[in-house]
Amino acid sequence: MKKKNRLSLSLYPSMVLALLLAGPSFAQDTLPPVSIAGFVDAFYSYNPAKPATGTNALRNFDVADNQFVVSQAEVSLSRVASPVGFHIDADYGPASDMIQSGTQGTLVILQQAFATAVLPVGSGLTLDAGKFFTGMGYEVVKTKDNFNYSRSFSFAWSIPYYHVGVRATYPVTGNLTSTLVVANGWNNTVLNRTKTFHLCLLDAPSPAVSFGVNWIGGQEEADSISKSFRNVVEGVLTLQPTENLTFAVDLTYGTEPSPAATAYWRAAVGYVKYQWTETSAFAIRVEGYWDPQGFTTGTVQDLSEVTATYDYRPAKSLILRAEYRHDKSTATVFSDASSAAANAFQNTFLLGVIVVF
């Protein structure tokens, strides 16, 4: 699966469109202040197999082995939509490079850049126009907002990172929210004239329970490669029986036809987090990932992983994480010191430091 290609749409027409939709009277309103935030995310990862490639195979952000890495540094500017606002994330680092993957020009530094307008339609229709993170997945791009430091195979291989397009969000009821996205494609990389559609329904019947359903579909290759329509459906269930204990399950199923056969991939990820104290938490992730045609990972294989993460926050602005992860495959895809593909498993130990401001 080619998730990371070239950006194909300027953000400026989308932003202007959102502002025009908001109406001329907005210029006379008193605007809320601009908020400035950000973080610096660094890690050290050690793989006992000492892979000849120097990398942890099949990972997306915690790739480098036996290296100190500034994974990502971000400065974020935002204004709450009242009724017009915006959000901009400017990023630096190898994690950002992987997300952008081939983007040219000044847009390479913008991980997100969108304008927001809240329209007086019913309970309030929120429109975002520009570049924004996908709504797929339980995990997100920013490490600080996840239970674990590393990302699941599902996050890395089964769903997109971001879109360029228009997003409409509407609160159907007090508990149910619907979101519709019309975008260029997965990571806005598609060199064709079609559009990708993403529909999300999120229901939170109580503070302890939430359930989300996602569907995304579109032609995700250039016309010269394939005009097949890719479909991915996902369900995410989150349970918080107590203030300190959280459970989550993320199930994903994707398909894409080809002249030979229809490729499909599946993922099942379970999460548990327990907040011991105000400063300490422990999280476990267990995952199965099935890629029987090798469509997403490039190898015919079934993957599994178990990740244990200790999260310590001695100060509000400082996050320290220690993590152990065991990956396993039905194919020999993990490098060791003597061969580029010698093992069917890999173990990694990681220390992560995140400073938030």
Nearest CA to 344 among 17, 44, 58?
58
10-residue mean pLDDT series, the chain (357 residues): 38 38 48 94 97 94 96 97 96 92 74 96 96 96 97 97 96 96 86 90 96 95 81 98 97 92 96 97 98 96 98 97 98 86 92 98
CATH 2.40.160.10 fits 35-356, yes or no: yes
Other Cβ atoms less than 10 A from the Cβ of 122: the count is 9
Q: What is the pTM of this model?
A: 0.88
**Residues 217, 197: contact at Cβ < 8 Å?**
yes
CA–CA distances in Å: residue 99 to residues 16, 64, 354:
25, 16, 19
Q: b or e along 145-159 (b: 16 or more beta carbons within 10 Å of the residue's beta carbon)?
A: ebbbbbbbbbbbbbb
Q: Give the helix ranges, DSSP H, for 63-126.
A: 94-100
211-228 in b/e burial notation, b at 16+ Cβ within 10 A?
bbebebbbbbbeeeebeb
Tokens 């908020």, located at residue: 35
Q: For strands 318-329 and 301-315, give the pairing.
A: antiparallel
What is the structure's pLDDT at 5?
38
pLDDT at residue number 224: 67
> The tokens of 90 are what?
């400017």
pLDDT the model gives residue 199? 98
- Residues 287, 60: Cα–Cα separation, whole Å: 16
Radius of gyration of the chain measured on its C-alpha atoms: 21
Q: Is 49 exposed, middle or buried (0-12, 13-18, 19+ CB in 10 A)?
A: buried
Q: Report residue 330: phi and psi, to 5°.
A: -80, -5
Q: What ranges make up the beta strands (E) of the chain?
A: 35-46, 67-79, 84-92, 110-119, 125-133, 162-171, 176-183, 196-206, 209-219, 229-242, 245-256, 263-275, 280-291, 301-315, 318-329, 345-356
Domain range annotation of the chain? 35-356
